Protein backbone atom coordinates (compact mmCIF):
# COMPACT_ATOMS: atom_id res chain seq x y z
CA UNK A 1 0.00 0.00 0.00
CA UNK A 2 1.19 3.53 -0.81
CA UNK A 3 0.08 6.22 1.64
CA UNK A 4 0.33 9.93 0.84
CA UNK A 5 0.40 12.02 4.02
CA UNK A 6 0.71 15.67 3.13
CA UNK A 7 3.73 15.68 0.86
CA UNK A 8 5.21 12.47 2.31
CA UNK A 9 4.79 9.22 0.41
CA UNK A 10 5.03 6.00 2.41
CA UNK A 11 5.46 2.74 0.49
CA UNK A 12 4.50 -0.50 2.22
CA UNK A 13 3.49 -2.82 -0.61
CA UNK A 14 3.36 -6.56 0.00
CA UNK A 15 5.99 -8.01 -2.39
CA UNK A 16 4.04 -11.29 -2.61
CA UNK A 17 1.70 -11.36 -5.60
CA UNK A 18 0.09 -14.76 -4.96
CA UNK A 19 0.60 -17.38 -2.27
CA UNK A 20 -0.46 -21.01 -2.16
CA UNK A 21 0.25 -22.20 1.36
CA UNK A 22 4.01 -22.03 1.82
CA UNK A 23 4.56 -21.32 -1.88
CA UNK A 24 4.83 -17.60 -2.60
CA UNK A 25 5.05 -15.92 -5.98
CA UNK A 26 6.60 -12.45 -5.76
CA UNK A 27 5.88 -9.52 -8.03
CA UNK A 28 9.49 -9.58 -9.18
CA UNK A 29 8.93 -13.06 -10.60
CA UNK A 30 6.51 -11.48 -13.06
CA UNK A 31 9.34 -9.48 -14.64
CA UNK A 32 11.40 -12.63 -15.21
CA UNK A 33 8.43 -14.57 -16.56
CA UNK A 34 7.50 -11.69 -18.86
CA UNK A 35 11.04 -11.50 -20.24
CA UNK A 36 11.35 -15.26 -20.69
CA UNK A 37 8.11 -15.30 -22.68
CA UNK A 38 8.30 -12.18 -24.81
CA UNK A 39 11.97 -12.27 -25.87
CA UNK A 40 11.93 -15.85 -27.26
CA UNK A 41 8.58 -15.07 -28.91
CA UNK A 42 10.03 -12.20 -30.95
CA UNK A 43 13.28 -14.04 -31.68
CA UNK A 44 11.20 -16.92 -33.06
CA UNK A 45 8.82 -14.67 -35.00
CA UNK A 46 11.43 -12.45 -36.60
CA UNK A 47 14.34 -14.84 -37.10
CA UNK A 48 14.40 -18.45 -35.91
CA UNK A 49 10.90 -19.44 -37.08
CA UNK A 50 11.23 -22.79 -35.34
CA UNK A 51 9.63 -23.77 -32.03
CA UNK A 52 12.26 -26.45 -31.42
CA UNK A 53 15.14 -24.02 -31.94
CA UNK A 54 13.39 -21.36 -29.86
CA UNK A 55 13.04 -23.77 -26.94
CA UNK A 56 16.76 -24.52 -27.14
CA UNK A 57 17.52 -20.81 -27.38
CA UNK A 58 15.48 -20.19 -24.22
CA UNK A 59 17.38 -22.90 -22.36
CA UNK A 60 20.76 -21.38 -23.28
CA UNK A 61 19.62 -17.91 -22.25
CA UNK A 62 18.03 -18.89 -18.94
CA UNK A 63 21.04 -20.92 -17.77
CA UNK A 64 23.68 -18.36 -18.83
CA UNK A 65 21.78 -15.31 -17.56
CA UNK A 66 21.05 -16.77 -14.12
CA UNK A 67 24.59 -18.14 -13.72
CA UNK A 68 26.39 -14.94 -14.76
CA UNK A 69 23.97 -12.56 -13.01
CA UNK A 70 24.51 -14.45 -9.77
CA UNK A 71 28.28 -14.77 -10.14
CA UNK A 72 28.65 -11.05 -10.88
CA UNK A 73 26.65 -10.18 -7.79
CA UNK A 74 28.74 -12.50 -5.63
CA UNK A 75 32.10 -11.35 -7.04
CA UNK A 76 31.50 -7.62 -7.42
CA UNK A 77 28.80 -6.72 -4.93
CA UNK A 78 29.01 -9.04 -1.90
CA UNK A 79 32.16 -11.15 -2.17
CA UNK A 80 33.23 -10.80 1.48
CA UNK A 81 29.86 -12.05 2.73
CA UNK A 82 29.97 -15.29 0.76
CA UNK A 83 33.63 -15.93 1.58
CA UNK A 84 33.05 -15.41 5.31
CA UNK A 85 29.80 -17.40 5.38
CA UNK A 86 28.62 -20.61 3.79
CA UNK A 87 29.58 -20.85 0.12
CA UNK A 88 26.36 -22.80 -0.39
CA UNK A 89 24.53 -19.48 0.00
CA UNK A 90 25.78 -18.63 -3.49
CA UNK A 91 23.21 -21.04 -4.90
CA UNK A 92 20.29 -19.51 -2.99
CA UNK A 93 19.17 -17.26 -5.83
CA UNK A 94 15.63 -17.13 -4.44
CA UNK A 95 16.96 -14.97 -1.60
CA UNK A 96 17.90 -12.25 -4.10
CA UNK A 97 21.21 -10.95 -5.34
CA UNK A 98 21.46 -10.70 -9.12
CA UNK A 99 23.50 -8.25 -11.21
CA UNK A 100 22.14 -6.76 -14.44
CA UNK A 101 25.66 -6.33 -15.83
CA UNK A 102 26.33 -10.00 -15.13
CA UNK A 103 22.99 -10.94 -16.66
CA UNK A 104 23.89 -8.97 -19.79
CA UNK A 105 27.19 -10.83 -20.13
CA UNK A 106 25.33 -14.09 -19.52
CA UNK A 107 22.86 -13.20 -22.25
CA UNK A 108 25.65 -12.40 -24.71
CA UNK A 109 27.37 -15.67 -23.80
CA UNK A 110 24.13 -17.62 -24.21
CA UNK A 111 23.42 -16.13 -27.64
CA UNK A 112 27.02 -16.73 -28.71
CA UNK A 113 26.98 -20.39 -27.68
CA UNK A 114 23.57 -20.94 -29.27
CA UNK A 115 24.62 -19.20 -32.50
CA UNK A 116 27.78 -21.29 -32.77
CA UNK A 117 25.98 -24.54 -32.00
CA UNK A 118 23.14 -24.03 -34.50
CA UNK A 119 24.92 -21.85 -37.08
CA UNK A 120 22.81 -18.71 -36.53
CA UNK A 121 23.76 -15.05 -36.88
CA UNK A 122 24.69 -13.61 -33.49
CA UNK A 123 23.71 -9.99 -34.16
CA UNK A 124 20.48 -10.99 -35.89
CA UNK A 125 19.35 -12.33 -32.52
CA UNK A 126 20.80 -9.62 -30.27
CA UNK A 127 19.31 -6.83 -32.41
CA UNK A 128 15.83 -8.24 -31.86
CA UNK A 129 16.47 -8.53 -28.13
CA UNK A 130 17.91 -5.00 -27.96
CA UNK A 131 14.48 -3.59 -28.82
CA UNK A 132 12.46 -5.76 -26.43
CA UNK A 133 14.80 -5.92 -23.41
CA UNK A 134 14.23 -2.30 -22.22
CA UNK A 135 10.52 -3.06 -21.82
CA UNK A 136 11.42 -5.98 -19.54
CA UNK A 137 13.83 -3.76 -17.60
CA UNK A 138 11.16 -1.11 -17.12
CA UNK A 139 8.79 -3.65 -15.60
CA UNK A 140 11.58 -5.13 -13.49
CA UNK A 141 12.43 -1.78 -11.90
CA UNK A 142 8.78 -1.23 -10.99
CA UNK A 143 8.94 -4.59 -9.23
CA UNK A 144 12.05 -3.35 -7.36
CA UNK A 145 9.97 -0.40 -6.17
CA UNK A 146 7.18 -2.70 -5.01
CA UNK A 147 9.72 -4.84 -3.14
CA UNK A 148 11.14 -1.73 -1.45
CA UNK A 149 14.67 -2.54 -2.61
CA UNK A 150 17.40 -0.67 -4.49
CA UNK A 151 15.89 2.61 -3.34
CA UNK A 152 17.49 6.02 -3.76
CA UNK A 153 19.50 8.41 -1.65
CA UNK A 154 17.86 10.66 0.97
CA UNK A 155 16.04 13.67 -0.46
CA UNK A 156 13.89 16.59 0.64
CA UNK A 157 12.03 16.70 -2.66
CA UNK A 158 8.23 16.52 -2.50
CA UNK A 159 8.18 13.21 -4.36
CA UNK A 160 10.52 11.54 -1.88
CA UNK A 161 9.33 8.11 -0.74
CA UNK A 162 9.64 6.50 2.70
CA UNK A 163 10.07 2.73 2.32
CA UNK A 164 8.91 0.33 5.03
CA UNK A 165 12.01 -1.80 4.29
CA UNK A 166 14.34 1.10 5.16
CA UNK A 167 15.19 1.17 8.87
CA UNK A 168 16.22 4.83 8.71
CA UNK A 169 12.70 5.82 7.59
CA UNK A 170 14.12 8.70 5.57
CA UNK A 171 12.48 10.16 2.49
CA UNK A 172 14.39 8.82 -0.50
CA UNK A 173 14.52 9.25 -4.25
CA UNK A 174 12.34 6.57 -5.91
CA UNK A 175 15.34 5.73 -8.08
CA UNK A 176 13.74 2.45 -9.13
CA UNK A 177 11.09 4.49 -10.95
CA UNK A 178 13.72 6.78 -12.48
CA UNK A 179 15.44 3.68 -13.83
CA UNK A 180 12.15 2.20 -15.00
CA UNK A 181 11.36 5.38 -16.93
CA UNK A 182 14.75 6.05 -18.55
CA UNK A 183 16.48 2.64 -18.77
CA UNK A 184 13.17 0.96 -19.47
CA UNK A 185 10.37 2.74 -21.27
CA UNK A 186 12.24 5.72 -22.77
CA UNK A 187 14.98 3.41 -24.03
CA UNK A 188 12.33 1.03 -25.41
CA UNK A 189 10.72 3.77 -27.50
CA UNK A 190 14.13 4.99 -28.70
CA UNK A 191 15.08 1.48 -29.83
CA UNK A 192 11.68 0.92 -31.43
CA UNK A 193 11.99 4.19 -33.34
CA UNK A 194 15.50 3.36 -34.54
CA UNK A 195 14.35 -0.05 -35.73
CA UNK A 196 11.18 1.12 -37.47
CA UNK A 197 12.03 4.61 -38.71
CA UNK A 198 15.75 4.51 -39.57
CA UNK A 199 18.14 2.38 -41.59
CA UNK A 200 19.97 1.26 -38.45
CA UNK A 201 17.60 -1.67 -38.08
CA UNK A 202 18.86 -3.02 -41.40
CA UNK A 203 22.51 -3.03 -40.32
CA UNK A 204 23.19 -6.00 -38.06
CA UNK A 205 24.84 -5.14 -34.77
CA UNK A 206 24.00 -1.44 -34.68
CA UNK A 207 20.89 -1.76 -32.53
CA UNK A 208 22.72 -4.03 -30.08
CA UNK A 209 25.61 -1.59 -29.65
CA UNK A 210 23.26 1.40 -29.32
CA UNK A 211 21.21 -0.39 -26.65
CA UNK A 212 24.26 -1.22 -24.53
CA UNK A 213 25.66 2.30 -24.90
CA UNK A 214 22.41 4.13 -24.06
CA UNK A 215 21.69 1.80 -21.15
CA UNK A 216 25.15 2.47 -19.70
CA UNK A 217 24.70 6.25 -20.08
CA UNK A 218 21.23 6.31 -18.50
CA UNK A 219 22.30 3.98 -15.68
CA UNK A 220 25.48 5.96 -14.97
CA UNK A 221 23.63 9.23 -14.32
CA UNK A 222 20.68 7.70 -12.44
CA UNK A 223 23.14 5.99 -10.09
CA UNK A 224 23.83 9.44 -8.59
CA UNK A 225 20.30 9.28 -7.17
CA UNK A 226 20.45 5.62 -6.14
CA UNK A 227 21.67 4.61 -2.70
CA UNK A 228 25.11 2.93 -2.90
CA UNK A 229 25.31 -0.72 -1.95
CA UNK A 230 25.77 -0.74 1.82
CA UNK A 231 28.56 -3.31 1.77
CA UNK A 232 30.53 -1.42 -0.92
CA UNK A 233 29.91 2.29 -0.48
CA UNK A 234 31.46 4.61 -3.06
CA UNK A 235 34.67 4.25 -5.04
CA UNK A 236 36.84 7.38 -4.74
CA UNK A 237 33.98 8.82 -2.65
CA UNK A 238 32.10 9.37 -5.89
CA UNK A 239 31.20 6.31 -7.97
CA UNK A 240 29.02 3.30 -7.21
CA UNK A 241 29.85 -0.19 -8.41
CA UNK A 242 27.07 0.17 -10.97
CA UNK A 243 28.76 3.27 -12.40
CA UNK A 244 32.14 1.56 -12.53
CA UNK A 245 30.60 -1.30 -14.52
CA UNK A 246 28.82 1.19 -16.81
CA UNK A 247 32.16 2.83 -17.56
CA UNK A 248 33.52 -0.62 -18.38
CA UNK A 249 30.60 -1.15 -20.78
CA UNK A 250 31.32 2.11 -22.61
CA UNK A 251 35.04 1.30 -22.82
CA UNK A 252 34.21 -2.15 -24.20
CA UNK A 253 31.90 -0.72 -26.88
CA UNK A 254 34.51 1.90 -27.82
CA UNK A 255 37.23 -0.75 -28.04
CA UNK A 256 35.01 -3.03 -30.11
CA UNK A 257 34.17 -0.26 -32.60
CA UNK A 258 37.83 0.77 -32.85
CA UNK A 259 38.96 -2.82 -33.36
CA UNK A 260 36.36 -3.58 -36.05
CA UNK A 261 37.22 -0.33 -37.84
CA UNK A 262 40.90 -1.31 -37.91
CA UNK A 263 40.01 -4.80 -39.17
CA UNK A 264 37.91 -3.34 -42.02
CA UNK A 265 40.76 -1.04 -43.07
CA UNK A 266 43.24 -3.91 -43.19
Supply the DSSP string of 201-228, one letter for each residue. GGSTTHHHHHHHHHHHHHHHHHTTTBPP
Nearest CA-CA partner of 121 in 236, 24, 129: 129
Confidence band, pLDDT 50/70/90 cuts, at residue 30 = confident
What per-residue confidence (pLDDT) applies to 112?
96
pLDDT reading at 23 higher than 80: no
239 torsion bin: left (phi>0), alpha (psi -120 to 50), beta (else)? beta
Q: What is the pLDDT of residues 49-98, one digit of tens each?
A: 999 999 999 999 999 998 898 888 888 777 777 777 766 666 666 556 67
* Percent of the chain surpassing pLDDT 70: 88
pLDDT reading at 164 higher than 90: no
**For 140-166, what is the mean pLDDT?**
90
**For 181-204, what is the mean pLDDT?**
94
**For 18-34, what is the mean pLDDT?**
74
What per-residue confidence (pLDDT) applies to 63?
93
The alpha carbons of the chain give a radius of gyration, in whole angstroms, of 20
What per-residue confidence (pLDDT) applies to 80?
73
**For 112-132, what is the mean pLDDT?**
97
User: Would the annotation count 141 as a binding residue?
Assistant: yes
What per-residue confidence (pLDDT) applies to 7?
56
pLDDT reading at 115 higher than 60: yes
**For 42-52, what is the mean pLDDT?**
96
pTM for the full predicted model: 0.86
Q: Do residues 118 and 36 touch, judged by C-beta distance below 8 A?
A: no
Amino acid sequence: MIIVNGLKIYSDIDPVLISFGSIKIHYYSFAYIFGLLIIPYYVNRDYLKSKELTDKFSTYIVLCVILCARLFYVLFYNFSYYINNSLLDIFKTWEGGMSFHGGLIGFILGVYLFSKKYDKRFFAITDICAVITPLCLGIGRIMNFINGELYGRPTDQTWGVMFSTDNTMLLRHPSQLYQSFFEGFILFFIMLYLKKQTNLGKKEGYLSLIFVSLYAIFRFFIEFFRNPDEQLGLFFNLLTMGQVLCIAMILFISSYLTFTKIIKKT
